Amino acid sequence: MESIFRQGLDEDIFEVIIVNDGTKDRSVDVIQDIISQHNNCMVLEQENQGSWAARNTGLNRASGEYVLYLDPDDFLIDGSLKPMLEKAQETKIDIILADYLTKSDEEIERMKIEPPVQRPFIVKEKTGEQLFLDDMDPYHCYVWRCLFRREFLMANHLYFNPEYYFQDVPFLHKCYLMANRCLRTPWLLTVYRKGHESATKSYNPRKVRIFVIAIAKTWELTHNDSFSSKVQNKLREDVYVSFSVVTWIISHRIEKDSDRIELIDYMKQQVPDLWFPNGLKQKYNSWMYRYFPHLFIRLRYLYAVIFEK
């Protein structure tokens, strides 16, 4: 919250929408002193539905030309938003994608004494397809590194599905591929707080099933015949990354064999036609997944136990 007001922006030109997603702690009390000092803050209350539903709530109430989604444990680098916003308003692009820093709590404390060295603010215009092919990294797929034109999001019904986690990947894939004009900049916008990834670092069968749904939503895009062969190939590569991650989680983080079998069956139900044709490893994993899923996940588990653990 505090970092938002260190951007050098006149408070009359932007709004801060805080969504209290049914928290049972003192979060709202803690930020009351910040809210009381500014006239452009809006607090929306809703029953707990998850961060994705909270983002949808904020978007529906927003009135600005551009939207920036912020996670509660990360923050903006001082003065980083102003040039991006000014360039976006000047060019009327759909998306501007920036870079970020990853820091631990200790490193963040040191930043107060030694602020990070900012990069030159240079931009390159790209189509949405070019941005997707050049800059979509499924390992670093975060909505908080993008500035979105609000009308672009709403006109294309680009909302988050509040029923499952890990939505940055399918959401951003859709955004990039639907955008007409985008900007890419190496400018540092955000600091990502390392060590607070509770939504992605602890797993149980329910969370894995939710991850599988996110894979299925991204895989659906491969069925769009209007996409070029380059886009189709990139989509498959990105889904393969998620597929590899979720099968690793099942074999390394799920303790019961019955749960592992149930989860691979669930993935087969959600995305039965997964097939990755690039390279021998992809073909082998695809073939095992398609025809011998139980053997596939048991072999992965045995490999983890014998060679990795």
The stretch 133-151 carries a mean pLDDT of 95
Instruction: State the pLDDT at residue 27.
Output: 85
Cα separation, 302 vs 210, in Å, equals 25
> How does residue 247 score in pLDDT terms, banded at 50, 70 and 90?
very high
17 SS3 class: strand
Say which range, 12-26, 58-72, 151-165, has the weakest mean pLDDT: 151-165
> 13 is written with which tokens?
């030109």
Instruction: State the pLDDT at residue 24.
Output: 85
> 218 is written with which tokens?
């991204």
> How does residue 49 score in pLDDT terms, banded at 50, 70 and 90?
confident
The stretch 207-224 carries a mean pLDDT of 93
42 SS3 class: strand
The stretch 302-309 carries a mean pLDDT of 84
- Domains of the chain, first to last: 2-197 (3.90.550.10), 202-308 (no CATH)
How many Cα atoms occupy the beta-carbon half-sphere of 122 within 13 Å? 4
What's phi and psi for 288, nearest 5 deg?
-65, -45
Q: Taking the alpha carbons of 219, 221, 226, 228 in that order, is the dihedral positive or negative?
A: negative
Nearest to 274 by CA among 246, 302, 308: 246
Q: What is the largest CA-CA distance in the chain?
A: 62
Cα separation, 53 vs 211, in Å, equals 17
What is the overall mean pLDDT for the chain?
Answer: 93
Residue 168 or 123, more confident: 123
Say which range, 33-47, 95-109, 184-198, 219-233, has the weakest mean pLDDT: 184-198
Residue 11 in this model has a pLDDT that exceeds 60: yes
What's phi and psi for 176, nearest 5 deg?
-60, -45
What's phi and psi for 72, nearest 5 deg?
-70, -15
* Residue 98 per-residue DSSP state: E
> How does residue 164 score in pLDDT terms, banded at 50, 70 and 90?
low
Nearest to 5 by CA among 99, 68, 78, 110: 78
Instruction: State the pLDDT at residue 307.
Output: 84
Residue 265 in this model has a pLDDT that exceeds 90: yes
Residue 110 in this model has a pLDDT that exceeds 60: yes
Residue 170 in this model has a pLDDT that exceeds 80: yes
What's the burial of 172, exposed, middle or buried (CB within 10 Å: 0-12/13-18/19+)? buried
The residues, ordered by sequence, that sit 6+ positions from 72 with a Cβ below 8 Å of its Cβ are 27
**What Cα–Cα distance (Å) separates residue 113 from each residue in 54, 60, 211, 240?**
34, 39, 39, 42
> How does residue 61 score in pLDDT terms, banded at 50, 70 and 90?
very high
pLDDT tens, residue by residue, 73-88: 899 999 999 999 999 9
Residue 174 CB coordination number (10 Å): 18
Residue 202 in this model has a pLDDT that exceeds 70: no
Contact indicator for 8, 79 with CB cutoff of 8 Å: yes
> How does residue 201 score in pLDDT terms, banded at 50, 70 and 90?
low
The stretch 172-182 carries a mean pLDDT of 97
